[in-house]
Amino acid sequence: MVLLISLISLSGILCAQKDMMDNFFNRYSGEEGFTTVTINGDLLGFLSKIDDDPDLDRIANKVTGIRIISTEKETPHRDVNFYAELRDDIRKGGYEELMTVKDSDDDVVIMVKTSGRTIREVLLVASGKNQTVIQIKGSLNEEDLDHLSRSHIDGLEYLEELEKAGK
């Protein structure tokens, strides 16, 4: 009986963690002033076949999905701060912070969820002048993050900072 209650509790916790990012993306999806993009792994595989991008070729079969949400530059969003909104959920969600990049316009935090040496999720949150969240799921390693940073996906250039820092 105790085992059954423990399993039910654990499944509720896991669903809550999974739903955290789903809820976040759903909250802004389709709202005026926000752009959301979802790319599934199959599309990346297709794109790697038609695009002459060797970095995309190397990671296409390892990424199961990419989700991006960003504020549109034409619409000011002074009351929106993606990092502040996600901060508590990120702490509870088991993310490990890899790097923080601060400049005059934006603060960028790059976090990962791992299983052993495998990176299961990369979460990039940019706040400041530009608000952006990029979630990448798959079965990746550190070298794959380097290839992701050089692919032609806007926002992932921040991952180059990891290579520079030797992470």
Domain that holds residue 144: 2-165
Q: Which residues contact 59 (CB under 8 A, 6 or more apart)?
A: 44, 138, 140, 144, 147, 148, 151
- Burial class for 153, CB neighbours closer than 10 Å (0-12, 13-18, 19+): buried
pLDDT digits (tens, 9 = 90+) for 72-128: 776 666 778 898 888 888 888 889 998 888 887 778 888 999 999 999 999 999 888
Which tens digits make up the pLDDT trace of 26-42?
998 888 888 899 988 88
Rg (CA), the chain: 17
121 class by beta-carbon count within 10 Å (0-12 exposed, 13-18 middle, 19+ buried): buried
| pLDDT at site 138 | 93
Number of domains in the chain: 1
Most confident of 50-54, 76-80, 132-136: 132-136
For the chain, percent of residues with pLDDT exceeding 90: 20
pLDDT tens for each residue of 81-91: 898 888 888 88
The predicted pLDDT at position 163 comes to 52
pLDDT at 159: 59
The more confidently predicted of residues 160 and 133 is 133
Task: Provide the pLDDT for residue 139.
Answer: 93
